[in-house]
Amino acid sequence: MASETAGGVNPHQQSPANERRTWEGCSVLLDINDGDRLVFARLSSGATLKIGNKACSLRPLIGCPFGSVFRVESSTSGSHLSRCFYSSTLLGNVATAQGKCYFGACGEMKDNRSLFDNNTAQGLSSEDIDAMKREGATGEEIVEALVANSSTFDKKTAFSQEKYKIKKQKKHAPKVLLRRPFSRSICEAYFKKYPARIGSLRVDALSLLLSMSNVGAYSNVLVLDMVGGLLTGAVAERIGGTGYVCSTHFGTTSNPIDIVRMFNFSTEVNSRIVRASFTDLSRVQENDFISSHQEILKTWNDSKSTSSSAESITTKKFNACGRK
């Protein structure tokens, strides 16, 4: 059978001892501003990510745990990604802000009926903001300055205030969440960005497909993948290197399964992902059937020959006894 390892997968790729942290050459899913933009990237010293009009190096992401949060910071040397560390005090302030009521100090209900968006409420100009960035001000400091120089911020409801802060934070201090690529995150990202590439396959349909097919450890699974390799990768991920996954196709042209590269499989798992056409599989099955049939005929002929020999010996003994 003419088989090969999965296309685009490096069988000699070595995974680190601690797979909870990123390493150079691994694939990651970058979640920018809480799902506003999802980007697949391969980490290297020279890789960059464009956020807005800024190009940031991805080198600070190497060696960090999955789930880390980064912010885009400006300095005299340019924009870069800086990892955020949330303290217990900050988390307590966030919880207090989430529990904030919509009433003013005097108990009166606030609303926005007297506010008009005429671009005159903000005291800082774009030139002032650019000057702060050149001086090395962080995104949080710029957002605080915008809040302090807004003449209508205190008149807004608590909901409108949080909405204003989030809007300015996304513009001046974008957040980047470092996510691990696995079946669910890859399926959700592709369904949001390029649904046609995965046949509009939702994560619940993928989960049901894996469950109904009874894919588990030590299984050898034949997969007809027409969704870019998402199904092949999901099956290999569930098997975990204990069985084999054969991605088949009809005709002479194989279906692309490039998505498998994003799973960061180890060398052992990659070696258990093979590809073969359905014609080759059918030919092997036919050859096995012919060999088995020939073996059965040979066994039957051998047993028949043995029976004939035994019968001949018995006849000779009987004739000898008759002569006596």
CB atoms within 10 A of CB 116: 10
Token pair in block for residue 322: 């008759």
Statement: the pTM of the whole predicted model exceeds 0.75? no
Q: Which is nearest to 221 in space by CA: 195, 253, 247?
A: 247
Q: Give the pLDDT mean for 299-315.
A: 55
Q: Are 249 and 255 in contact (CB under 8 A)?
A: yes
Class of residue 259 by CB neighbours under 10 A (exposed 0-12, middle 13-18, buried 19+): buried
Q: Give the pLDDT mean for 22-30.
A: 92
Q: Give the pLDDT mean for 65-93.
A: 73
Query: What letter would DSSP give residue 258?
Result: G
Percent residues over pLDDT 90 in the chain: 35
Q: Which residue has the higher pLDDT, 164 or 42?
A: 42
Model pLDDT for residues 170-223, shown as the tens digit of each residue: 887 888 999 999 999 999 999 999 999 999 999 999 999 999 999 988 999 999
- Has residue 250 got a pLDDT over 50? yes
64-73, 165-174, 232-241, 302-311: range with lowest mean pLDDT:
302-311
Q: Tell me the C-alpha distance between 133 and 135, whole Å.
A: 5
Model pLDDT for residues 282-300, shown as the tens digit of each residue: 876 655 544 554 565 556 5
pLDDT at site 100: 53
- DSSP readout, 117-172? -SS-SB---HHHHHHHHHTT--HHHHHHHHHHTBTTTTTS-HHHHHHHHHHHHHHH
Long-range CB contact pairs, 130-134, < 8 A, 24+: 133/74, 134/74, 134/76
From residue 179, give the alpha-carbon distance in Å to each of 20, 50, 106, 185, 271: 11, 18, 45, 8, 25
From residue 186, give the alpha-carbon distance in Å to each of 18, 200, 201, 255: 21, 13, 11, 19
Model pLDDT for residues 65-78, shown as the tens digit of each residue: 999 999 888 776 77
Q: Tell me the C-alpha distance between 170 and 166, whole Å.
A: 6
21-30, 94-103, 160-169, 187-196: range with lowest mean pLDDT:
94-103
Q: Are 156 and 115 in contact (CB under 8 A)?
A: yes
Is residue 17 very low, low, confident or very high in pLDDT (cuts 50, 70, 90)?
A: low
Q: Give the pLDDT mean for 105-115.
A: 59
